[in-house]
């Protein structure tokens, strides 16, 4: 598989050489902030399958799960690019909106449904998890 991702202004590019380990839509409160009120859809990859060019700005916080999280975004245009656990660098997720072809991946589950607003809608064919699922291994 050979795919790419990038920010809106083109300052950050990602070459992807492997397949995603998991694709999830997350409705935790943090993702709702990053998604402007919606959940975010994230494709998790092995970090070794990604080659990033350009500079990223990183923001670190503690999520509702208790995990220390880091999120990478373009400091020029602000495009959210990455999310992952701060102490676990082997796997990182790319925001699906940053992929050159968002149709190249499809979510298989929706997580943190308990945090979603009442108007959120979920694909009934996808597995739904109320809070934090087990880590991707």
The per-residue pLDDT for range 22-41, each reduced to its tens digit, is 999 999 888 888 888 889 99
- Would you state the pLDDT for residue 89? 77
pTM: 0.85
- Would you state the pLDDT for residue 1? 45
Q: 89: burial class by Cβ within 10 Å (0-12, 13-18, 19+)?
A: exposed
- Would you state the pLDDT for residue 136? 66
What is the pLDDT of the chain when averaged over all its residues?
A: 89
Strand partners, 41: 25
Instruction: Judge contact between 82 and 92, C-beta under 8 A.
Output: yes
Read off the pLDDT of residues 59-78 as tens digits, 9 standing for 90 and up: 887 877 777 788 999 999 99
What would the mean pLDDT of 82-108 be, rounded to a whole number? 89
Distances from the Cα of 102 to the Cα of 4, 26, 80, 117, angstroms: 10, 16, 14, 24
d(CA 51, CA 5): 10
**DSSP code string of 78-129:** --EEEEEETT--SEEEEEGGGBS-GGG----EEE-GGGS-TT----TTSEEE
- The residue among 107 and 67 whose pLDDT is bigger is 107
Cα angle 84, 40, 88 (rounded to 5 degrees) comes to 10
- Strand-pair category, 91-95 with 80-85: antiparallel
What would the mean pLDDT of 5-26 be, rounded to a whole number? 95
């Amino acid at each position: 598989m050979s795919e790419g991702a990038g920010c809106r202004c083109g300052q950050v590019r990602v070459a992807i050489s492997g397949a995603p380990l998991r694709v999830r839509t997350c409705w935790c409160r943090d993702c709702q902030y990053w998604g402007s009120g919606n959940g975010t859809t994230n494709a998790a990859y092995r970090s070794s399958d990604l080659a990033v060019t350009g500079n990223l700005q990183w923001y670190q916080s503690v999520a509702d799960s208790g995990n220390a999280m880091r999120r990478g975004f373009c400091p020029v245009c602000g495009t959210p690019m990455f999310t992952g656990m701060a102490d676990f660098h082997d796997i990182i997720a790319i925001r699906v909106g940053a992929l050159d072809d968002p149709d190249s991946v499809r979510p298989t589950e929706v997580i943190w449904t308990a945090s979603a607003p009442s108007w959120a809608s979920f694909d009934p064919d996808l597995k739904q998890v109320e809070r934090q699922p087990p880590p991707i291994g």
